[in-house]
Amino acid sequence: MSESDWTKLNGTLSHNNASKEFELTEQQIFGAIKQGKLQYRQNSAHGNPYFKLLRSEVEAFALDVHGGAEALHAIALKHQLKKINTEINSCKRKLSALEKQKLELNKLLIP
């Protein structure tokens, strides 16, 4: 792969995100790295090491592991649904906190 694949937007992902997004185990990912199926770069964030992988290679590997495009599409939909549910729950927590602030401010305004 060319150097541009490593630098383009959404061209890479961490081995942890690859595991979550494509329903792969760390053992499968590390096995593919050892077999040369996945290129990687070692990186760290806040002192924690991780492997940076090329998204296109992870997608191709996941196709092989899960047995086709339909299975991979279903996994992608489940991942997207999980992200949406997480965002909805975050918004609910924020709304609840804002409602509490609103009640406190209304109590201060009305004697």
pLDDT tens sequence across 6-35: 998 989 999 999 999 999 999 999 999 999
Contact of 66 with 75, CB cutoff 8 Å: yes
Regions of the chain where pLDDT drops below 50: none
What pLDDT sits at residue 1? 54
Q: What is the pTM of this model?
A: 0.76
CA-CA distance, 78 to 66, in Å (whole number)? 14
Distance of CA 45 to the CA centre of its chain: 15
